[in-house]
Amino acid sequence: MTDNQLIGVSRRSLLGAFAATAVIAAPTLSNAFGILKGAGDIRRIRMYSGRTGESIDTIYWIEGEYIPEVTKEINYFMRDWRSNDVVKMDMRTVDIMAAAHRLMDVSEPYMLLSGYRCPKTNAMLRSNSKGVAKNSLHMKGQAADLRLGSRSVGQMAKAAAACASGGVGKYSRSNFVHMDCGPVRSWGG
């Protein structure tokens, strides 16, 4: 955490956050649901992009509040890398990603394949694939396509589905899982 990220955060809340890390490290279903319901003391996301070479490993929520500077970093990280367009990501999707990551009990960061997609990028991808929705939630900053080397598509999808907080798509042939904060549903194989 940088000095800029510590501004406005009390010593007490930081100590509580670090103490909570030991308590919340166990990969139980109750931990994931606690995060999604706002009961978690801290929330952390770890990702890297093979497209841009960038990575992010940060705490973005402490004691019931998102950290504005960090959410801006996440927005930039999850931008459309083809157009360089940045939007405000729906943090509910990041919450689902973080909760699923905790359920899988992995330290490996997600590989982000796709976060936000501008309409032009979505149309281009749609023209090349049957699996791209015309009104994709990626265009609203509400979805992410992710991969983990240490977990199968099935394991990732099961963890995301256990959160019961959005859509989960399994793309086994392409080796990634789609997670979004839209209606609860699942698809793929």
Q: What is the pLDDT of residue 132?
A: 84
Q: Are 57 and 2 in contact (CB under 8 A)?
A: no
36 pLDDT band, cuts 50/70/90, is low
pLDDT exceeds 50 at position 10: no
Helix, strand, or coil here: 166? coil
Looking at domain 3-188, its CATH architecture is 2-Layer Sandwich (3.30)
pTM of the model: 0.79
**What are the sequence ranges of the domains in the chain?**
3-188
- Phi, psi (5° rounding) for residue 169? -115, 130
Residue whose structure tokens are 């905790």 = 102
Rounded Cα distance between 64 and 143, Å, is 22
Give the mean pLDDT of 34-46.
72
**Lowest-confidence range among 19-23, 47-51, 125-129, 153-157?**
19-23
Cα 47 from Cα 171, distance rounded (Å): 19
Q: Is the pLDDT assigned to residue 57 strictly greater than 70?
A: yes
pLDDT band at 32; cut points 50, 70, 90? low
pLDDT > 70: what percent of the chain?
Answer: 79
pLDDT of residue 1: 46
- At 23 the pLDDT is 35
Look at the block and give the residue holding tokens 């240490």.
150
Asked if the model's pLDDT at residue 37 lies above 80, the reply is no
CA dihedral over 65, 92, 142, 76, signed as positive or negative: positive
pLDDT digits 0-9 by tens, 136-159: 999 999 999 999 999 999 999 999
